[in-house]
Structures are given as structure tokens and as C-alpha cells.
Amino acid sequence: MGVYEELGLAPIINASGTVTRLGGAPMPPAVVAALAAAAEQWVPLEQLQAAASRRIAAVTGAEAGLVTAGSAAALTLGTAALLAGHDLGRMERLPHCRGFPHEIVVAREHRSGYDHAVRAAGARLVEVGFNEVVAGAGVRRAEGWEYEAAFSERTAGVLYVFSSAAAPTLNEVVQRAQRHQLPVLVDAAGELPPRANLKLAETSGADLVAYSGGKSIRGPQSTGILCGRRHWITSAALQMLDMDDHEQLWDPPPELIDRSQLAGIPRHGIGRGLKVSKEEIVALLVALDLFAAGDYLGELTHQRELLEQIAGAVADTAAVCTVRTPGSPERPPLLEVDLTQTGQDAFEVCRRLRLGAPPIYVSHGELADGKLVIHPICLDDTMAATLGTRLREELEHPQS
């Protein structure tokens, strides 16, 4: 019996991709092996994070980096760094920010549920831009001047959610912020691949960039990366790590935490609840190296074959299948299954796939348009075959 069956759960076929609610990305065997090996020995966590910083810097071109408990935690820690800097009193007080700058400027269109992570550190979000897309009254993207017009003595920095379609560009926003000596924190959680986006801090000059470790990097689902300027990474590390040590003995690696710049030891900060284990750190670093070396690109051809196999299984139904080629050639293809000609409700088909045996979860973002979307990253041959069969059954003989 498998570990999930022991708990009374049926493992699903995940055709939704690396989504968090279904458990994220498949870890390659080398990553799982590193996770197990790391569990058998002990190292001081601040030294491990300093080693991680060197590896992250080598891959991203940033000055320094930190392994975090996911990209959302990276955003909380990054914000905490922008609010407190190296000021131990501010670290102690977060999330209470009375008496020091704590506004983070953000374009309205960059707001999402993930900005909880930024607000959790104590920041107040100040929105710019008018993007009323429903009535269409004066719809436009946020503009660069609006960021600058919102800056004041209360501003602690800028939050920018990166995508290739984001406007104004990250480079423009960084330049405008730098004119006011303000730092920029970038959420690039889901913007890998392309691997070129690992270099965002270096290419844009942004102060801090957050990535998910458990999406396309294929590290443990609970990991992430914060990288950028050493000054801010030090602050983030200080606010996450447990430093319950004696002042006479505390000897952190200076490349990560330079004691000479600190007034004392900030033993526990606001990020203490966002800790990452040694196993997760080691595994994430192995995954990051595989991802950065392009190790996963060889799977793209097989992923396309799996999608074509699923399309073939429903070829003589009224469903219309299209393999979508994504914007970046490093991203997996997707299979769109358009049900509008089948007379069936896409929500119903999606529900019945979830309730079947084994349960099958397809991407649900386009159900309202009558479309199921199949993401191949977590599929193998057997799963793809089962998915094709189940989909055909549902389309030919809908079960109630």
C-alpha cells in the first residue's frame, strides 16, 4: 500500500501542472536523493544558507540569495528587509511600522492574493494606475510617472509582479525608483522558464527577486528563492534564521551576515515561522542546478507526444483538441480540449473527471469558455493513457 493509500487517499492524475493545491512539480530522482542524503547529517543553518547564497548568486548573477519557504515567503522576507534594513529595533517591531517608512507602491494590475505575503510583513500597499477593464472607461496600463507621483517620505519600496507582458517594463520601474533611492521587490514566482528570467536582478537592477522553487525548478514544493543585493538578503536572512546563540559565540558567515554592521543579535524575526529545513535547502540547490543547466528541456518532445496521444484518444468525439505552443520554447506545450461542440458543460466534465477512479485534475482556468486544459509536466505514459480513456468515456457516455 502506498503512503497516501495508508492515509485513505487515492493519488490523482495531475494534469494541472505545478499548482500548489495539488502538490506542485515532480522532483527529479537526483533531487529526491539529495533530500534523503541531507537528512542524515547536520550543519549550521546559517552556514548552509551562506553556501546556498553562493550557488544562487552564481546561477542568477545577483549578489546574494536565500532559500525561502516558497516564493510567498520570499515576498514576506523581502518586504521585511525593505522595511527594517539592518535596524534591529525595526526587526523587533515588525509587523508594526509606526515611525518609519512602510508604504509599498504597486500597480493595481499587479495586485493578487499573493500580496498578502507583502502585507504580512507590515507594509501598506499604495496602488497606482486605473485599469477598469469591465466598463472600459479609459482603460490603460499603469504608467511609469504614476509610480513616481506616489512616492513620498513614507515609501519603503516598490512591488513589481513580473511577466513578459507587464507594463511599464521592469527596467523602467527600477530606473524611476532608483531616481528616488527606492528599492524594487519583484515577484517572478511563476516566470520560469525561460531560464533567462533567472537573471532578472542582474539585468534590471531590481533589488530583490522572488522565485518559486517548487514550480518549474522542481525543487521541494515548499521552497523558493529570494535573490538580489547583499544588504537586503542579509536583512531577510536575519529575520528568518533562528539565532538563539550567545553573543560571545555567534559567528555567522560574513558573506551572508556581516556582524560588524549589526548592533547585536536579532534572535528571532518576523520570518521565524517561514523556516526552511536543511533537506529542503540542499534539494532545492540540486534542482536549481538541473533547471539552470537545461536538464528538463529534453522532456518537451515527449510531453508533446503525450498530449497528442490524449488528443488521439478523443479524436472521434466532438471535442476539438489543439496543442498550444507556449510563448517561450522552454515551456511545456499544453493541450486545449474545447467542449463547446459536444453539448457538454465543461464544469461537469471537469467534476466527473475529479470524481472518477483514479481522480483526474485538469487545469480549470478556461472552463467558463468551455475548455479543459491539460498540462503535461506531471504526466507519464500510463497516466496519459488513462486520462485519454477517461476523457473519451466521459464524452461518449457521460456518467451522472
Ligand X SMILES: *Cc1c(COP(=O)(O)O)cnc(C)c1O
When asked if residue 212 is in the footprint of ligand X (CB under 6 A), the reply is yes
Who contacts 204 (Cβ-Cβ below 8 Å, separation ≥6)?
A: 170, 171, 174, 184, 186
When asked if residue 71 is in the footprint of ligand X (CB under 6 A), the reply is yes
All three cell numbers of 334, joined, read 499544453
Closest to ligand X by CB, 71 or 277: 71
Bridge-based pairing state of the strands 184-187 and 103-107: unpaired
CB of 321 to ligand X, least distance (A): 26
Return the residues of window 263-302 that contact ligand X according to CB under 6 A.
Answer: none
Return the residues of window 172-211 that contact ligand X according to CB under 6 A.
Answer: 187, 189-190
When asked if residue 76 is in the footprint of ligand X (CB under 6 A), the reply is no
When asked if residue 252 is in the footprint of ligand X (CB under 6 A), the reply is no
Q: Which stretch binds ligand X (CB under 6 A): 31-39, 49-57, 66-74, 233-241?
A: 66-74
Which of 224, 228, 370, 388: binder of ligand X (CB under 6 A)? 224
Q: Which stretch binds ligand X (CB under 6 A): 67-75, 76-84, 325-333, 355-363?
A: 67-75
Site size toward ligand X (CB under 6 A) is: 12
* Cα dihedral 384/33/56/105 (nearest 10): 50
Closest to ligand X by CB, 189 or 391: 189
CB of 114 to ligand X, least distance (A): 4
CB of 69 to ligand X, least distance (A): 8
Closest to ligand X by CB, 46 or 187: 187
Q: Which stretch binds ligand X (CB under 6 A): 44-52, 64-72, 124-132, 201-209?
A: 64-72
Which of 70, 252, 271, 376: binder of ligand X (CB under 6 A)? 70
What is each CA distance from 199 to 205, 284, 383, in whole angstroms?
10, 17, 35
Closest to ligand X by CB, 214 or 388: 214
Cα 259 to Cα 325: distance, rounded to the nearest angstrom? 50
DSSP 363: B
CB of 139 to ligand X, least distance (A): 22
- For residue 128, the Cα-to-chain-centroid distance in whole angstroms is 24
Assess contact for 183 and 207: CB atoms under 8 A: yes
CB of 75 to ligand X, least distance (A): 7
CB of 185 to ligand X, least distance (A): 12
CB of 83 to ligand X, least distance (A): 19
3-state secondary structure of 30: helix
When asked if residue 129 is in the footprint of ligand X (CB under 6 A), the reply is no
CB of 213 to ligand X, least distance (A): 7
Residue number closest to ligand X, CB atom: 70
- Which of these, 290, 300, 363, lies nearest to 326 by C-alpha position? 300
Residue 15 φ/ψ, nearest 5 degrees: -110, 25
Helices (H), the chain: 3-6, 29-38, 45-60, 70-84, 88-93, 115-119, 144-150, 170-178, 200-204, 230-240, 278-292, 300-313, 346-355, 381-396
Closest to ligand X by CB, 70 or 370: 70
All three cell numbers of 400, joined, read 451522472
Residue 13's Cβ-count burial label (10 Å; 0-12, 13-18, 19+) is buried
Closest to ligand X by CB, 17 or 168: 17
Strand order in the sheet with 103-107: 64-68, 224-228, 208-212, 184-187, 155-161, 103-107, 124-128
Identity of the residue numbered 109: E
Closest to ligand X by CB, 161 or 367: 161
Which of 72, 217, 335, 374: binder of ligand X (CB under 6 A)? 72
Residue numbers at the binding site for ligand X (CB under 6 A): 20, 70-72, 114, 161, 187, 189-190, 212, 214, 224
